[in-house]
Every structure is written in structure tokens, then in C-alpha cells.
């Protein structure tokens, strides 16, 4: 008789096969999660997953009609807790109006997922024609929104968390310039202004067409620099908030995922990536680290960003 048959034939073994009871979730219907760029792709799947888990989800999008339609599609699936609010992460007025709405309408938030991003390259091209928009959206936009929402987090150790959807293309091992790599790894001296100077230096080199051969990441260079900056900022913010408040800050790279950004290429669907991202956003407080970079679901945690 096989061991699996044994399991079925004995009462004790049957008990062994019963999964342990699921721990009660730490969140409630009042827990508020904000997801940027959630009208399509991974952000949309992630917003849907968080709503399925019963949280209040603010689905944001820069385009009113696209955002309304995306939120309506989720509500039509029975996810009644989804609310739409317009938010262009590159527009200071839009960010300020959104923060005021979160404060006045919701009384604060618990989870922020900075997901909105752009890339203009085909899979195997490396144009920097739109570098400024890429940096403005993926790094400065996420940073501006984060700073505007920070005072509105409820700051409970059990709930408050920021998840930045990033990319392994912006990991330090992609940086060829040893001085830049050293600067970003020197956690004791690294400051936000250093990260901003790095971004400005890259954009200046793009403007005078001297960026090649300078040690920047070689794949999707503008996008990679934007994520390099986002990763470094996340790391600094994590230390800042570990002292000053109780908000965790982590990054997640979903890996190569079939969305519009990759022109439909990739190893996994947006739903699969969104599900893993939601799992990270909802980690139980006792398992929630800060200042880490998660890659797919391993979680493969890099100690340095």
C-alpha cells in the first residue's frame, strides 16, 4: 500500500493531511490601500486582488475615463469596495489634490503601492528619447506621492506599509560605474540629494548625448536608472521611517510579465504578478521586513538596494 493510501485509511493520518487553520487577517474592510496606475496591467490585477481580500481599495489612474472604466469593471465583479480617484503622479497639483481627498474623504491610508510607471522601449531597444518622462514618472512621481501621503498613514506597526513596484534592471549589480555603485552602497553617507544628483547627471548626459559608456545599466537604461533611484530612495526612506515612524518600505520586482509595457511579452500574466504583489502588501506584521527588495515570490531578499 502506498504511503498516500495509508494517509486516507487512518484517522490520525487524516488529521495530518488537514491544512492548518488560516490565521485571521490583520486587515479589515476599513483598511485603505492606494494603488497607482491601476487602470491596467499589474496595478489593475493587484487592486483587484486587494479588493478580493476585503480591503477598501483606491484604484487610481491618470485618465478619468480609463480609471472609471477599470474601477467599474471590478465593481461589476462584485468588488464593491473599489473606489476610483484620478491621480497623475507627475503632476504636483494632482498629487496635492489626491492627498487632500485621502485626508478628507478617507481619513488616511494604510497601504501605498507605487506601481505607476512608463517605459518607451521595445524589448531589445535602448532609446533614451523619453528619459525625462521616464525619470519624472518612475522615480520623482513615486517619491512626490509618497512624501505627500506620509503624514496621512495611520502609522500603526500592524498596518502601515509602502510597496514600490520596481525592477531588477535597477539593481546595483547592473551598475558598471564603481564610484556610483560605491556611493549607492554606502548607507551611512548616502542622502536623498545624492540620488537626485545621480538622476540629474544622467539626464544631463542624455541631453548632450554623452550617456553611453558611463557605467549606467545597459538594458533599458533610462528605465533602469529610474528604478535604481527608486530602489535607493526606498532604502533611505525605510531607515528614516524605522526611526521616525512605523511604516515599512519595500520594493518588489514582478519579473518579466506580459503587459503593455513589454508589448505582451513575458513569462507570467499580470494576474499572477498582481497576486504575488498583493501577498507582499498583505504580509502579516510579524513577517513584514523593511528596506528589502523582493523578487517574484521567493521572496528573494537583497540586503542592498
Ligand X SMILES: NC(=O)c1ccc[n+]([C@@H]2O[C@H](COP(=O)([O-])OP(=O)(O)OC[C@H]3O[C@@H](n4cnc5c(N)ncnc54)[C@H](OP(=O)(O)O)[C@@H]3O)[C@@H](O)[C@H]2O)c1
**Cβ pair 254, 44 in contact under 8 A:** no
Degrees, nearest 5: CA angle 274-275-277: 65
Compare residues 141 and 291 and give the one whose CB is closer to ligand X. Answer: 141
Per rule CB under 6 A, is residue 299 in the interface with ligand X? no
- Please choose, out of 12-20, 99-107, 210-218, 260-268, the segment that lies near ligand X by the rule CB under 6 A: 260-268
- Please choose, out of 11-19, 39-47, 181-189, 285-293, the segment that lies near ligand X by the rule CB under 6 A: 39-47
Q: Rounded to an integer, what distance in angstroms lies between the CA atom of residue 44 and that of residue 252?
A: 16
Integer CA distances (angstroms), 17 to 8, 120, 300, in order: 9, 50, 29
How far, rounded to the nearest angstrom, does the alpha carbon of residue 66 sit from its chain's CA centroid? 21
Question: From the list 137, 146, 221, 290, which residue makes contact with ligand X (rule: CB under 6 A)?
Answer: 137
153 — phi, psi (to 5°)?
-70, 145
- Please choose, out of 124-132, 178-186, 214-222, 253-261, the segment that lies near ligand X by the rule CB under 6 A: 253-261
Per rule CB under 6 A, is residue 250 in the interface with ligand X? no
Integer CA distances (angstroms), 200 to 170, 204, 218, 219, 274, in order: 16, 6, 18, 19, 32
Per rule CB under 6 A, is residue 48 in the interface with ligand X? no
How far, rounded to the nearest angstrom, does the alpha carbon of residue 131 sit from its chain's CA centroid? 20
Question: From the list 102, 111, 261, 278, which residue makes contact with ligand X (rule: CB under 6 A)?
Answer: 261
Compare residues 28 and 95 and give the one whose CB is closer to ligand X. Answer: 95
Cell of 72: 467599474
Compare residues 247 and 253 and give the one whose CB is closer to ligand X. Answer: 253
How far, rounded to the nearest angstrom, does the alpha carbon of residue 191 sit from its chain's CA centroid? 21
Question: From the list 27, 31, 36, 56, which residue makes contact with ligand X (rule: CB under 6 A)?
Answer: 36
Q: Tell me the sheet residues that pair with 153.
A: 109
302 counts as catalytic: no
Per rule CB under 6 A, is residue 167 in the interface with ligand X? yes
Q: Which residues bind ligand X (CB under 6 A)?
A: 36-37, 39-43, 61-63, 66, 87-90, 115-118, 137, 141, 165, 167, 253-254, 256-257, 259-262, 266, 270
Active site residues: 223
Amino acid at each position: 500500500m502506498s504511503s498516500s493510501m495509508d494517509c486516507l485509511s487512518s484517522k490520525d493520518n487524516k488529521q495530518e493531511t488537514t491544512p492548518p487553520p488560516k490565521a485571521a487577517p490583520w486587515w479589515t474592510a476599513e483598511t485603505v490601500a492606494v494603488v497607482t496606475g491601476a487602470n491596467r496591467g499589474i496595478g489593475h490585477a493587484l487592486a483587484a486582488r486587494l479588493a478580493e481580500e476585503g480591503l477598501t481599495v483606491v484604484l487610481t489612474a491618470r485618465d478619468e475615463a480609463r480609471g472609471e472604466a477599470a474601477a467599474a469593471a471590478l465593481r461589476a465583479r462584485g468588488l464593491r469596495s473599489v473606489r476610483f480617484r484620478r491621480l497623475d503622479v507627475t503632476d504636483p497639483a494632482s498629487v496635492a489634490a489626491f492627498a487632500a481627498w485621502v485626508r478628507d474623504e478617507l481619513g488616511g491610508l494604510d497601504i501605498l503601492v507605487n506601481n505607476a510607471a512608463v517605459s518607451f522601449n521595445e524589448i531589445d531597444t535602448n532609446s533614451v528619447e523619453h528619459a525625462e518622462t521616464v525619470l519624472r514618472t518612475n522615480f520623482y512621481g513615486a517619491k512626490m506621492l509618497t512624501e505627500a501621503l506620509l503624514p496621512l498613514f495611520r502609522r500603526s506597526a500592524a498596518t502601515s506599509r509602502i510597496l514600490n513596484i520596481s525592477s531588477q534592471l535597477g539593481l546595483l549589480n547592473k551598475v558598471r560605474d564603481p564610484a556610483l555603485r560605491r556611493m549607492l552602497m554606502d548607507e551611512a553617507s548616502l542622502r536623498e540629494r545624492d540620488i537626485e544628483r545621480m538622476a540629474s547627471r544622467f539626464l544631463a548626459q542624455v541631453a548632450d548625448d554623452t550617456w553611453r559608456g558611463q557605467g549606467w545599466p545597459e538594458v533599458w537604461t533610462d528605465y533602469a536608472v529610474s528604478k535604481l533611484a527608486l530602489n535607493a530612495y526606498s532604502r533611505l526612506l525605510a531607515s528614516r521611517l524605522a526611526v521616525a515612524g512605523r511604516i515599512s518600505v519595500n520594493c518588489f520586482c514582478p519579473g518579466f510579465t506580459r503587459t503593455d509595457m513589454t508589448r505582451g511579452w513575458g513569462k507570467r500574466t499580470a494576474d499572477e504578478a498582481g497576486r504575488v504583489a498583493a501577498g507582499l502588501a498583505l504580509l502579516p506584521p510579524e513577517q513584514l521586513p523593511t528596506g528589502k527588495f523582493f523578487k517574484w515570490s521567493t521572496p528573494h531578499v537583497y540586503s542592498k538596494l
